[in-house]
Amino acid sequence: MLDETIITETPPLYCGYGRSGEQVCVPITGNRARRIIHGALNILTGEVLLLITDVWDEVTHQYFLEGVRLHWSGWRLILFEDRGSPHTAEESLALAARLGIQVRLLPRACPELNAMDHLFRFVKTRAVANRPTRSIDASTMAACGYIHALDRRERLIKAGVCSGNFWLTW
């Protein structure tokens, strides 16, 4: 499974704690800095590959595809991706074919089918939400560090692969 997530300077706010009757101060910098975390999850082993970039376009996606092939050299790869424009670009699909990677595009508007999306959503709520941002790079590294700190089985559980309802079974 392959997907990307955006880490922003203003983190998501799910909850805030304060004294009853008092307003909670939420620091907002006004900066619009962001980083993109590209991720690929092996749904058999729980191994993950991550890449941080400033942009998400065809070039960065193709670079990540090359990294995926190098990381899992010797494997027969089938990547499930959403239909984002960098994923569906002719050059990206042609590169994947040259690298021996079969691409399966998931249906539109179905993020629940992508296990990497589930893992990113879980990590963002634990690693970057409800915290003031020291720097965009620190937040991005916190998210990546959280993913790497999970053992392989935990990654698969958080991604929903181990549930009895996972759609891709063999």
Q: Read off the pLDDT band of 133 (50, 70, 90).
A: confident
User: Torsion angle of alpha carbons 58, 48, 83, 89, nearest 10°?
Assistant: 20
Residue 96 has pLDDT above 80, yes or no: yes
Residue recorded with tokens 């400033």: 54
**Short-list 142, 161, 108, CA closest to 37:** 142
Highest-confidence segment of 15-29, 42-56, 122-136? 42-56
130: phi > 0 → left, psi -120 to 50 → alpha, else beta; which?
left
Q: What is the pLDDT of residue 12?
A: 67
Gyration radius of the chain over CA positions: 17
Q: Are 61 and 82 in contact (CB under 8 A)?
A: no
Residue 127 has pLDDT above 80, yes or no: yes
- Spell out the domains of the chain, with CATH numbers in brackets: 2-12+29-158 (3.30.420.10)
**138: helix, coil or strand?**
helix
Q: What is the pLDDT of residue 27?
A: 65
Per-residue pLDDT reduced to its tens digit, 25-51: 766 667 788 999 999 999 999 999 999
Cβ contacts of residue 97 below 8 Å, gap of 6+? none
Average pLDDT of the chain is 89
Q: Read off the pLDDT band of 110 (50, 70, 90).
A: confident
Instruction: Express as a percent the part of the chain with pLDDT over 90.
Output: 64
**Helix or strand run (H / E) with residue 40:** strand 34-41
Whole-structure pTM value:
0.87
Q: Are 92 and 65 in contact (CB under 8 A)?
A: yes
Q: What is the pLDDT of residue 15?
A: 65
Q: Read off the pLDDT band of 90 (50, 70, 90).
A: very high
